[in-house]
Amino acid sequence: MFVLAAQIYAQEGKLDDVFEALVPEAAAVKADEEKTHAYYFFKGLEEPNTSTAFGLEIYDDRHALETIHMGNESFKTFAATASPMFSKDFLLEEFETTDIGFVTRPGYSALQAETALPMFAYFTVAPGKREEVLDMFRPLATEVEATEPNCWSYVFFRALNNPDKFVIFERYTTLDDLNVVHRSGKTFIKVFAELEEKGLVVDRNVVLGAEARPGALGFLDRS
């Protein structure tokens, strides 16, 4: 499948208004675009991302994005309404799905609790080492799904335009579920120790967010 990781840069004080414009757009996508499998946005929680909206979009293919989604009146209305509130052009990074991890647990498609912490973890690895690194993460992804019920999403995507880059999309109930449970796990510690020992990670950028408005900002599956 064809995946986009989006970043929408709002003018200072305008991010809430951008999200308001996204509300009817996200609802229309779920109602009308059967080839869109995820359309989910969250607010950046920490500086320098507190005026940025981050999105995960999953489509059947590029055609479903460029012809169907961008051709719909709901998207055109969102673009016309929201673009005057952007501080600069939005960023769309292209990825593809892998067989590692899970997009969402059943019943936790989006915005199902009082709190949730979504995040993107972007990795750039040593040249030619992406598949080796992804294979190192496989047992961790399996363990997370089996033993961390408060991790609702943990899925890996390969960058299409950079053979050494991938991203992990993650969602947790609370910050403790990320820091105390997930990052303290034996497999997590082992994987990251091995990555450091072998010098496989060139760059890692973690963007932590907050689900901004329960029930309003999209979905991660169609159940």
Over residues 143-178, the pLDDT tens digits come to: 999 999 999 999 999 999 999 999 999 999 888 999
Q: Which of 27, 96, 25 is nearest to 60 (CA)?
A: 96
Distance between CA 42 and CA 141 in Å, rounded?
22
Residue 99, number of CB atoms within 10 A of its CB: 9
What is the structure's pLDDT at 119?
A: 93
pTM of the model as a whole: 0.92
217 falls in which pLDDT band (50, 70, 90)? confident
What is the structure's pLDDT at 115?
A: 65
What is the structure's pLDDT at 176?
A: 92
Judge whether residue 108 has pLDDT over 80.
Answer: no
Residue with tokens 């979504």: 118
111 falls in which pLDDT band (50, 70, 90)? low
For each of the domains in the chain, give its residue range(s) and CATH number, in order of start. Answer: 2-219 (3.30.70.100)
